[in-house]
Amino acid sequence: MRPLLERLRARIAATGPISLADYMALALGDPAAGYYRTRDPLGRSGDFTTAPEISQMFGELIGLWLADRLARHEGARPRLVELGPGRGTLMADALRAAGPLQTLPLSLVETSRPLRAAQASRLPQAVWHETLEAVPDEPLLLVANEFLDALPVRQYLADDRGWREVQVGLAGAGLGFGLSGRIPRAGLQPAPGDWAEESPAAEGIVASLAARIAHRGGAALIIDYGYREADRPAGPTLQAIKDHARADPLAAPGEADLTWLIDFDRLAAVARDAVDEPHAIAVHVTTQGAFLAQLGIGLRAAALARARPEEAGAIADALERLTSETAMGTRFKVMAITPAGPPPPGFVEEPKPEDDTP
Ligand code: SAH
């Protein structure tokens, strides 16, 4: 088969520029050449490193979080589900740390053949699905780390006369960004320089999870690089990553990871809007650092360092990377969708210091 760049150019030459989202769907998901079909992108030899690959503590604490939800669950036995499990590291660590999860059926949603093989070696009991829709409609205990940001995103830019959508067209011997004609979008008239990113795929998954949890119970934990209203970036967030560095998103489709930053307030609103009875579910968002600290990662790190003194330095480094404000602690956010009830562990509002003063 011809290289993906050539196929994309032929398609655009025949039918015109395509949306950024359509470009991403092919660059990441083309069955023969898509980035997430053909390789293991993780770790030092790959293009990027994720929290579960940094330390076992990450998956262990998520395992305990899920086990707490299982203990509170009423009704039919839930199914344990992970979206985009990578090498299976998070789930293997979770199952080792939280025995009660080991009795549940395990479903993995994964499109990559090489990564399915890596997952199978660590999680032989799993069954695999191409999409969330194919996972049986049972109560779910679900985790998705750095999954939503791998799904296609649409990008919009405004000038003084309205919105245009970012497109990919031909440029010289390669591809270049362009803009569609003006298009209507819901909401207020934009100001010049306004930008928006929307992922129908990511929002569809969150809406589906919210509806399943409202009907059947269970819980979902979604962790990703992203922002809230208070730290919204100044401009669009799409970027390409190759060999642990920024790359040109259009230079070599299928060869670089393409990601964007999740708008967590928007996703939380999507989850709430997806259920008919708004009080059937609770949606919480916090930072990865606050979440892990509240679940006791400091204690876990100290216990691990006592058990393996020769690794104490590496354990301290991992703790710092996962939780500090200058590393993943605030840039990564965690969203929980649960049935209505008190906030789950990791999301409990801590009293502000001034509340202590008499
Ligand atoms: N959660 C893992 C891996 C994150 S990378 C970790 O934290 O290490 C993104 C994962 O999602 C990979 O496993 C990738 O193959 C998978 N993936 C990407 N797009 C997908 C899609 N459209 N459907 C299913 N899985 C997908």
| pTM: predicted TM-score of the whole model, two decimal places | 0.96
Q: Give 202's Cβ-side CA count (13 Å radius).
A: 29
35 lines ligand 1 (CB under 6 A): no
Atom 10 in ligand 1: residue holding the nearest Cα: 84
Q: What is the pLDDT of residue 109?
A: 98
107 lines ligand 1 (CB under 6 A): no
111 lines ligand 1 (CB under 6 A): yes
Rounded to the nearest whole angstrom, what is the distance from the C-alpha of residue 79 to the centroid of ligand 1? Answer: 19
Which atom of ligand 1 is nearest the CA belonging to 42?
Answer: 8
With bands split at pLDDT 50, 70 and 90, how would you rate the model's confidence at 260?
Answer: very high
Atom 16 in ligand 1: residue holding the nearest Cα: 84
Rounded Cα distance, 140 and 219, in Å: 6
| 97-154 residue pLDDT tens | 999 999 999 999 999 999 999 999 999 999 999 999 999 999 999 999 999 999 999 9
42 lines ligand 1 (CB under 6 A): yes
* Residue from 58, 87, 110 to probe ligand 1 pocket by mutation (most atoms less than 8 Å from CB): 110
Rounded Cα distance, 140 and 11, in Å: 40
